[in-house]
Structure 1
Amino acid sequence: MDFKLVSRTLILAVAGSAFSVTALAQWQWIDKDGRKVYSDRSPPADIPEKNILKMPRGAKVAAQPTAKEDAVATPGAAASAPVAKNDPNAPKLTGKDPQLEAKKKQAEEEEAAKKQANEEKVAKAKAENCDRSKKAVNSFQSGQRITVTNSKGEREYMDDSAKAAEVKRLQGIIETDCK
């Protein structure tokens, strides 16, 4: 007896799932790329009637309305309905979102402005480094005694080898920053 109950349940489940699949996909057609499409909505107006493989009972393939007839029939649906390609009054669809394009352009402009500000900041820092390095080289080459503070906080005079090493380092900065 259990076997009969299980088999009846199984049969009802299979029949129910088959019914739900067919109820969801009442339309079947071949799109312009040659692929089979299943849908609960009618195909777009640009699909020829010969490409419609299956439709609900009593449904008819509607003739392609013009943009004016469509706008009169349903005022809000004119923007969402397909429009004839040769209609001169049809809005031109570019496939681009103007708001998204404006935001993208604004972000690019902001990034360009940040980049330019950063480049100006770097150029200003290089100019300051150049001036400081030139002044320091002039001080080292003037013949004056140069003092430095050591780690203990005491003043020490630089010897000639330390002066030469510092002048060499400053010359490297001048070569890179003074262009």
Structure 2
Amino acid sequence: MHFSKFLVALPLALAASMATAQWQWLDKDGRKIFSDRAPGPEVPEKNILKRPAGTKAPASDSNAQTTPEGTKVDGAVAPAAKDAGVDKALDAKKKQAEAAEAAQKKAEAEKVAKAKADNCKLARQAKTTFESGIRLARANSAGEREFLDDAARASEMQRIQGVIDADCK
């Protein structure tokens, strides 16, 4: 009785083993694919990792040409892949980081330009005030008010003119 069960179980086990995934290849994203069916023609020969027993790799044709990806094309030249070996997600992150950096630099440049414009406006107002000839006073280090003499007025005018030359362009 045991022998008859063995004779029935053996062909079933062999049939089940033949039905398991016999093909193994890498898809375009580099993931391993297992299947009982052959991969499509878009899968290059070099990406096929395992074949079922009894199938052979296609023979090299004399009129077939090899593309940069390693696939063969009969009589016609296949277009080269534009992004061969480039990780699209990494490329997108890199472009996003560059765009963010450019936006940050632009915002910083706008901030500097606004500060220069404000400095220019204030310096021109101060120059107008100093050129008017009215008496000007400022607080000294002790907090007391002191009036500017001609030397202090001239040095302050020179400083204001330097600000105007630097910021008003």
For Structure 1 versus Structure 2, the TM-score category normalised by the shorter chain is: 0.5 to 0.7
Shift of 1:145: 0.6
Among candidates 125, 142, 156, match of residue 166 of structure 1: 156
> Given the superposition, is the C-alpha separation of residues 159 and 103 from structure 1 closer, same or farther in structure 2, using an over 3 Å criterion?
same
Mapped pair 1:81 → 2:47: yes
1:38-53 equivalences in 2 (<5 Å): none
Partner of 2:117: 127
TM-score by length of 2: 0.56
Alignment-mate amino acid for residue 106 of structure 1: Q
How many pairs does the alignment contain?
Answer: 110
Give, in whole Å, the separation in 1 of the partners of 2:119 and 2:89: 45
Structure 2 unaligned segments of length 5 or more: list them: 1-24, 28-33, 49-68
Task: Provide the C-alpha distance between the structure 1 equivalents of 2:39 and 2:71, rounded to a whole number of angstroms.
Answer: 20
Query: Which of these residues, 114, 123, 130, is aligned with residue 140 of structure 1?
Result: 130
Deviation at residue 73 of structure 1 after TM alignment: 3.6
Code of the aligned partner of 1:136:
A
Aligned-partner Cα distance in 1 for 2:126–2:154: 12
Matches within 5 A, 1:54-73: 72-73=37-38
Query: Which residue does the alignment assign to 2:90?
Result: 100
Partner Cα distance (1:90, 1:177) in 2: 56
Q: SS of 1:151's equivalent? A: coil
Which protein is richer in helix relative to its size? 1
Unaligned runs of 5+ in 1: 1-64
**CA offset at residue 178 of structure 1?**
0.3
Structure having the higher strand fraction is 2
RMSD: 3.2
> Alignment identity in percent?
45
1:115 aligns to 2:101 (yes or no): no
When normalised by structure 1's length, the TM-score is 0.53
